[in-house]
Amino acid sequence: MLQRKAWILWVGMLLITSEVSLLALQAPAKTDSVTIGNIYLNGNKKTLRSIILRELDFEEGETVSKADFERALVLDQQKLMNTRLFVTAEIVPLYMSDTDVEVLINMQERWYVFPVPIFRLADRNFTEWWVNQKRDFSRVNFGAQLYHMNLTGRNDRLSAKLQFGFTKQYALDYSVPYINKNQKLGMSFGISFATNKAVSYASNGHRLEFYDGEDVLRRTFSTGTAFTYRPSFYTKHTWNIGYSRISVADTVIDLNPNYLGNDQTLQEAFLLGYNFTIDKRDFVSYPLKGSVFRFDADQYGLGIFNDMNMLVTRISFAKFLDLGDKFYLANRADLYKNFGETIPYVRRAGFGYNPDFIRGYEKYVVESDFLLSHRTSFKYQVIEGVTNLNKRSIIPQFKTLPYAFYLKTFMDLGYSGDPLDNNENNFYNNKLIASFGLGLDIVTYYDFVMRLEFSVTEEGNTGFYFNFRSAL
């Protein structure tokens, strides 16, 4: 009898449990997803809506997890700033319910039109001009350049240059990031003509040697077009094709027969190039977090002219870490290799030319067909803020001045291969060079960066330098 009652009780409990389980399955679970409603834009007077929405990792009507949505708010805000279209950009979620959200994007557009007077040094850097060239003001370029950084609201950029002085140059460049409906294909075009009455033709002791003449010594014409493919937010492929024509006076060939290669006074060449980039930096102009990888391969000479046949490659990788409590660490490694059997001096590369340098060696050029370098900086953010300049300004883009100051220590290492022909006293080639030092970075709006650095080289040489671009 007892066993029968126990059996009936067990069957009853099983039925009750099954019913409860069924009800639990039918009951709506607490959601961890949200559906994106309207996306409102505020402040884009010039920039097209499609250009802004292209940078977002979500779209209207899409259902995403709350975790992914909250992560996208931070990353998409950084992507909008990296378009370099806005002084400020803020993405604000507007929750209508637990499952529905709308989005407000507040932006302050940059000032896009800059008629800029040109007054810049013709030399590699300020130290080259100040020390090696004895502060010679004849080595200054002057003129005017017009920039429009958002010509039609599509983040397309136009640049026109009229330059006189040490190097006379006339140039026109135009680029548009997207030319198709799904905004993945872009293109650019450029053309330039320049003349020089002074040229560097060799180096001695890793310092450039120049020849100045009364007449034009070098004429350079170049033109080219590039096509870009951006399949995702952080990845981009670029293919470019170009043509260049360089002619020099006989005097230059007398000084360096390999200036254009094989005693030539005229060099014509087509260029075919490819670039692959994965860029996950938080801010392109002065990154504090993220990474960037870049691979370049350029073939000079396609067999149409026999003036040159040269393959040039470069791989670079940089990593930026936020260590917390306003401390940051940055590292960058570069590998450069020129596979040409003969390298015309006009196509030279080395430490001292952008983008290759070792801090503390700014006075020198270490030219070679092979370069390997590593640069690292450990930084502390001393202060960051925004100053109101003039509340009554008729130009809203210049009412405020953002700023940040970073104290840093740094160490650089570099190695170069065999020296190029016609260079003498090459004591830094086939040798590891190194430096360390202290510095201050000043960062403000419109991607302006100033570096003030005190360096000590491996040989014990010291110096104080300043530059106008980020070191990494």
Are 428 and 469 spatial neighbours (Cβ–Cβ below 8 Å)? no
For residue 73, the model assigns a pLDDT of 94
70 SS3 class: helix
Please answer whether residues 352 and 373 qualify as being in contact, where contact means their C-beta atoms are separated by less than 8 angstroms.
no
- The boundaries of every CATH 3.10.20.310 domain in the chain are 33-108
Q: Using CB atoms within 10 Å of the CB of residue 42, give its burial: 0 to 12 exposed, 13 to 18 middle, 19+ buried.
A: exposed
Beta bridge partner(s), residue 176: 187
Confidence of residue 75 (pLDDT cuts 50, 70, 90): very high
Q: Which two tokens stand for residue 143?
A: 């003129």
| Domain ranges in the chain with CATH number 2.40.160.50 | 113-467
pLDDT for the residue numbered 310: 94
More confident residue, 135 or 315: 315
**Through-space distance between the first and last CA atoms of the chain, rounded to whole angstroms:** 86
pLDDT in tens, 306-316: 778 999 999 99
What's at 212, amino acid-wise?
A: D
Least confident of 244-253, 329-338, 390-399: 390-399
Q: How many whole angstroms separate alpha carbon 332 and alpha carbon 317? A: 6
User: Is CATH 1.10.3720.10 what the domain over 113-467 is classified as, yes or no?
Assistant: no
**Among the CATH numbers 3.30.10.20, 3.90.420.10, 1.10.10.10, 3.10.20.310, which is that of 33-108?**
3.10.20.310
| Structure token digits, residue 263 | 């005693």
pLDDT band for position 21 (cuts 50, 70, 90)? very low
Model pLDDT for residues 203-217, shown as the tens digit of each residue: 999 998 888 877 899
Lowest mean pLDDT among 141-150, 311-320, 414-423: 141-150
Q: Give start and end residues of each alpha helix (H) in 39-96.
A: 49-53, 66-82
Q: What are the two backbone dihedrals, phi and then psi, of residue 280, each rounded to the nearest 5 degrees?
A: -120, 30
Confidence of residue 332 (pLDDT cuts 50, 70, 90): very high
428 in Cβ contact with 364 (< 8 Å): yes
In this prediction, residue 418 has a pLDDT band, given cuts at 50, 70 and 90, of very high
Band of residue 126 on the pLDDT scale cut at 50, 70, 90: low
The mean predicted confidence, pLDDT, of the chain is 87
Residue with tokens 């709350």: 66
Average pLDDT of the residues in 51-55: 94
Tens digits of per-residue pLDDT, 401-410? 788 999 999 9
Average pLDDT over residues 236-261: 95
Share of the chain above pLDDT 70, in %: 85
Backbone angles phi, psi at 314, to 5 degrees: -150, 135
Q: Does 121 have pLDDT greater than 70? A: no
Q: What pLDDT is stored for residue 6 in this prediction?
A: 42
* Share of residues in the chain with pLDDT > 90 (%): 65
For residue 359, give the nearest of 208, 461, 210, 209 by alpha carbon: 461
- Please report, as a single letter, which amino acid is at residue 314: R
Residue 12, helix vs strand vs coil: helix
pLDDT over 90 at 439, yes or no: yes
**Can you say whether the dihedral through the CA atoms of 300, 302, 306, 310 is positive or negative?**
positive
- Mean of pLDDT values over 372-399: 81
Global pTM value: 0.82
pLDDT, residue 26, reads 42
Question: Taking residues 417-442, what's their average pLDDT?
Answer: 93
